[in-house]
Amino acid sequence: LRQKALEDLKGISDSAALENLRVSIVGKKGELTQFLRGMGSLSPEERPAMGQMINDVRKALETALDEKAKSLKAAELERRLAEEALDVTVPGAKPERGGLHPVTLIQRELVSIFTSMGFSVADGPEVELDHFNFELMNLPKNHPARDMQDTLYVSENVVLRTHTSPVQARVMTTKKPPIYVVCPGRVYRSDEVDASHSPVFHQMECLVVDEGITMGDLKGVLDTFIKKLYGGETKTRLRPSFFPFTEPSAELDISCTLCGGEGCRVCKGTGWLELGGCGMVNPDVLDMCGIDPEKYTGFAFGFGLDRLANMKYGIDDIRLNFEGDLRFLEQFAREG
């Protein structure tokens, strides 16, 4: 039995087979156990010698089994270590670097320019009451000038804000002058999509209300921020216009920063680009918002951030701003 068991042990190469062998020798029904059971039939004289012999065999086999178990375990560990080894010298996969969206970049830059001039930032909801979006902006229901902005209505009295001007009303109805705020944000209009129009776009509003504010202050602030944004060479121009919430009103143009001359794809060769509207806050608006128009005057302007960003970065189609194409966005990821 001993010889055979030791022989069998040599051929074993995994722990499951080893366990089977152990059971077949020293298990409850194992061969050696059977020998022990058979001792009852021996004469008392024979028993001690036989018992001694079985015990010796058992000890020897158990030692051999334990040693085999140890060496199998060591070999298995060795194999696993080899299989799972990591090559720490293999270069890692480079993580993709995200970038800020061009509109976010321009918005941050503008907020930093305006806060450096003493303005603070105000915010308002994108789902807005008709009351703030239109009525307090001097656009009562059925006023024809509402047609200037194609409105997405949520219900009779709730709209997706068509401009950032309702934030003006929210500020004026809750704060007393002096007021110096800018309000960047997303706005919505049911405009046809083309290279310079999107149904979702971004505007930034600027509102100043204080004693003795004039159109000269408006022109001065416009000039200052445009020069800071595009460089000292850039010019601004005001053209007479109409908005119900400002009087007088003007359209703000800036000299084309990407001008390619006659065939310029950005300004169509005119040398000027329309950026947004502006004017002196209509005294009726001040009055409706609870500010004394006899004591205070103010100016406001609002412009499209997408167009401003596109001019700054030389993007010729506004749709790129909303498509989320990584090939476009990754161009704005900064190194470092």
User: Binding-site residues for Mg(2+), please?
Assistant: 247
| Per CB under 6 A, 198 contacts ligand FA5 | yes
Phi, psi values for residue 277, rounded to 5°: -110, 160
Q: How far is the CB of 86 from ligand FA5 (least distance, A)?
A: 52
| Per CB under 6 A, 146 contacts ligand FA5 | no
| Per CB under 6 A, 177 contacts ligand FA5 | no
Helices and strands in the chain: count of H runs, count of E runs: 12, 10
| Per CB under 6 A, 246 contacts ligand FA5 | yes
Distance CA 67, CA 61 (A): 10
Q: How far is the CB of 203 from ligand FA5 (least distance, A)?
A: 5
Q: With CB under 6 A as the rule, give the number of residues binding ligand FA5.
A: 26
- Nearest to 304, CA basis, from 219, 205, 235: 205
Residue from 114, 119, 180, 201 binding ligand FA5 (CB under 6 A): 201
Q: How far is the CB of 251 from ligand FA5 (least distance, A)?
A: 8
How many residues belong to the chain?
336
For residues 247 and 280, is the Cβ–Cβ distance under 8 A? yes
Helix or strand run (H / E) with residue 37: helix 31-37
Q: Judged by CB under 6 A, which stretch of 52-60, 91-99, 199-207, 261-269 contacts ligand FA5?
A: 199-207
- Nearest to 179, CA basis, from 303, 290, 304: 290
CA distances from 246 to 84, 100, 136 (A): 73, 34, 12
Please, which residue, 95 or 324, has the CB nearer to ligand FA5?
Answer: 324
| Per CB under 6 A, 165 contacts ligand FA5 | yes
Pairing relationship of beta strands 200-210 and 297-304 according to DSSP bridges: antiparallel
Q: How far is the CB of 123 from ligand FA5 (least distance, A)?
A: 16
Alpha-helical regions (H) of 185-304: 215-230, 283-288
Q: Which of residues 107-126 bind ligand FA5 (CB under 6 A)?
A: none
Q: Which of residues 272-311 bind ligand FA5 (CB under 6 A)?
A: 274-279, 300-304, 306-307
Please, which residue, 128 or 205, has the CB nearer to ligand FA5?
Answer: 205
Please, which residue, 136 or 318, has the CB nearer to ligand FA5?
Answer: 318
| Per CB under 6 A, 257 contacts ligand FA5 | no
Distance CA 176, CA 151 (A): 30
Q: Which residues are annotated as a binding site?
A: 247
Burial of 312 (0-12, 13-18, 19+ CB in 10 A): middle
| Per CB under 6 A, 191 contacts ligand FA5 | yes
- Write out the residues near ligand FA5 by the rule CB under 6 A: 149, 163, 165, 189, 191, 197-198, 201, 203, 205, 243, 246, 274-279, 300-304, 306-307, 318
